[in-house]
Structures are given as structure tokens and as C-alpha cells.
Amino acid sequence: MDLLSRMAVIEVGRALRDSDLLDKQTNKLHTAKIVGLVAATRWGSLITDLAFCETLSQGPELASPTIFSYTLPNIALAEAASHFGLTGPVYSIFAKDNPFEEARQEALRWLSCQPEISAMVSGQLDIPPSFEEGAGPVARFHVV
């Protein structure tokens, strides 16, 4: 599992646990509630894409199929959703100015339009392509 996915699993789990939505025995949702997950990102899966390109530069036959499977920004969220048994909408959006707030607003839109959804986990998930960007990795989630 790539770093972005590991960050997502840990922080989504923390948000679910802090909201008392996880069964302590199974680490899955308490009930059959429909819970979705949305994260905003500035860089998407770029760090993983670059790692894949590095393996590709050694020749197409040496390109890593394992890394390739994580080269979409929504894969990290799918890993977290699968891990905790989330069955609502799961996707990633790009946001430049305030990713955490934009994800929260998107979650609120889902909740207002789809009454069968019990809750949405929303947040920001990012790893900049280099620390020269002035920021480090970010994984923050909360339940809306």
C-alpha cells in the first residue's frame, strides 16, 4: 500500500473512532449505516505517479504493477472505505485554496441531497511532490 493510502486508512479510522462509529471488536461501522468519504487534494496521487515513473524509466518490463495500482487520487480513499466498510459515495476532488473546507462543503451537499446517507467523512489528503512547496504531508478528516 502506498503512503497516501496508509495515511488515509489511519486518519479516516481516527475520525470514525472519534465519532464513535466504529465497533471496537471488528473495526468496522457499528451498524448498516451508509457512510461516505470525500477528500480534497492539491496534488492528488502525484507522489505515487512519480514513483511509478521512476520504475518505468528503467524499462517498461520493470515498471511496478503494484505502484501503478495506486496512481489515481481516489484509490487511497477506496482503501480506507474498504478497510472500515463504508458503503456511501467515495471520491477525491481537487481544491487549491482551502481543501479541507471544500471537502466539508461537498460532504454537506451529499447529506442534503441524499437522506439515506447517515454521515460523510470529509477532509484533506495530500503529499506535496517536494518539500520545496513549503508544506509536508497532510491527512485530516472529520465526520460530518
Question: Comparing 51 with 133, which gets the higher pLDDT?
Answer: 51
Q: What is the pLDDT of residue 73?
A: 85
Global confidence as pTM: 0.90
For residue 120, the 8-state DSSP code is E
Q: In this model, does residue 143 exceed pLDDT 70?
A: yes
* Residues 77-104, mean pLDDT to the nearest whole number: 96
Helices 46-56, 3-18: axis angle to 10 degrees equals 150
Rounded to the nearest integer, the mean pLDDT of the chain is 92
Q: Report the DSSP beta bridge partners of residue 7.
A: none
User: CA-CA distance, 13 to 25, in Å (whole number)?
Assistant: 14
Q: Which of 16, 34, 22, 4 is nearest to 137 (CA)?
A: 4
Rounded CA-CA distance 22/15 in Å is 10
* Angstrom distance (rounded) from CA 57 to CA 135: 27
Give pLDDT, residue 131: 63
Give 21's contacts (C-beta < 8 A, 6+ positions apart): 29, 30, 33, 35, 119, 143
CA of residue 64 relative to chain centroid, distance: 22
**The dihedral sign for the CA sequence 16, 108, 75, 135:** negative
pLDDT at 58: 83
pLDDT at 102: 98
